[in-house]
Amino acid sequence: MAYPIVSAPYGFKPLNRLDGLPYAGATRKIPIEYAYAQNLFYGDVVQISSGGTVIRSAMSAASSPGTAVAGTIGIFLGCSYTSPTTSQKLFAQYYPASLAANDAEAIVVDDPRALFKAVVTVQGTSLANSSTTIGYLNPYYVGSNLYMVGGAGGVSGSTTTGNSAQSVSGAVITSGTSGAGDRVTSALPWRMVGVVPETAVTLTGIGSTSGSSTTVTLTTPVTGLVPGMQLICPTGTGTLVGQYATVINVSTTTLTLDAAVTLAASSALTFVGFPEVLVTWNGSFHSYNNTTGV
């Protein structure tokens, strides 16, 4: 297992631009409504309200995920305000709900071509918006679309660290098995463009197939193996170069893959999963690319 271990979602962390240019840290300050009633956490997706202030985005896996929300402006990276208790200017990791400050301003990354790092979480047998269980994707998913998990009404964040608990996921796996999800081609907020190799998780096992098959039988169960991980077995044969296939179902010693492979008896298998991925805004889901104004 790689280090550091990813233990929980943290929202969306800006890395650089989609074109590979370094991220210069450019942000924009946008007012927060006086006594706004929700927490805003570092890494949260935010939008501009009809009143011109920053609010938590309504864009989520649970409410119209295929519909862009006009006003979605970027990622919240903290705020500043005058403390109603001490009358001192403060800079904070998160905005505490119902703060009685009339000069509160959000610090927002609003570049529609920014590239972000995000944690992958698991979807169960139906699409949900509150998962904090770490899942895994792999390069098979690059180019597909991802849900935002933990939007309005979903997971919030930590008032201890000030960090968001938002994450990304694929769709519900059609077999009904919990996992990071199937690939999605329909419109969703995020486009996956890469994986984060530094925190990859690697497992090993022994298995085989009965001829060319999408079903792999393991000699013994592999602890920690879940859908979304990549099977690598260069000694096998199949349609995919190097036998890079994706596990889409795990049932004790029986695995289901996304593509048929042929594995001899007692084949040495490697499974790799990436709990963190690189994403960018998808089309009109960022308000600067949306022709509908606030």
Phi, psi of 290 (to 5 degrees): -105, 125
Whether residue 4 lies inside any domain: the answer is no
- 2 inside domain: no
Q: Looking at the structure, tell me whether residues 175 and 252 fall in a common domain.
A: no
Of 217 and 128, which is predicted with more confidence? 217
For 263, which DSSP code?
-
Select the more confidently predicted residue: 66 or 288.
Answer: 288
Domain of 245? 201-273
Looking at the structure, tell me whether residues 128 and 25 fall in a common domain. yes
Interacting residues of 19 by C-beta distance below 8 A, sequence separation 6+: 113
Could you tell me the pLDDT band of residue 235, with boundaries at 50, 70 and 90?
confident
> What total of structural domains would you count in the chain?
2
173 and 39 within one domain: yes
Sign of the four-CA dihedral 116, 118, 123, 129: negative
Whether 184 and 213 map to the same domain: the answer is no
Q: Which DSSP string do the residues of 246-262 spell out, in sequence order?
A: EEEEEETTEEEEEEEEE
Same domain, 121 and 166: yes
152: pLDDT confidence band, cut at 50, 70 and 90? Answer: low
Which residues are CB-contacts of 203 (< 8 A; sequence separation ≥ 6)? 222, 223, 224, 225, 229, 270, 271, 272, 273
What pLDDT was estimated at residue 1? 44
Residues 85 and 229 in one domain: no
- Average pLDDT over the chain, rounded to an integer: 88
Inter-residue contact 238 to 260 (CB < 8 Å): yes
Identify which of 3, 77, 72 has the alpha carbon closest to the alpha carbon of residue 41: 77
CATH number of 225's domain: 2.40.30
Whether 100 has a pLDDT exceeding 60, the answer reads yes
106 domain-assigned = yes
- pLDDT 10s digits, 175-209: 656 666 678 888 899 999 999 999 999 999 999 99
Task: Reply yes or no on whether the pLDDT at 49 is more than 70.
Answer: yes
User: Is 145 within 8 Å of 184 (Cβ atoms)?
Assistant: yes
| Lowest-confidence segment of 30-34, 256-260, 290-294 by average pLDDT | 290-294
Residues 44, 11: Cα–Cα separation, whole Å: 6
pLDDT for 155 beyond 80: no
Overall average pLDDT of the 101-110 stretch: 96
DSSP track, 17-54? ETTSPBP----EEEE--TT-SS-B-BT-EEEE-TTS-E
CA distance 287 to 112: 8
pTM, 2 dp:
0.91
Q: How many helical (H) and strand (E) elements, i.e. helices and strands, does the chain have?
A: 0, 19
Is the model more confident about 31 or about 171? 31
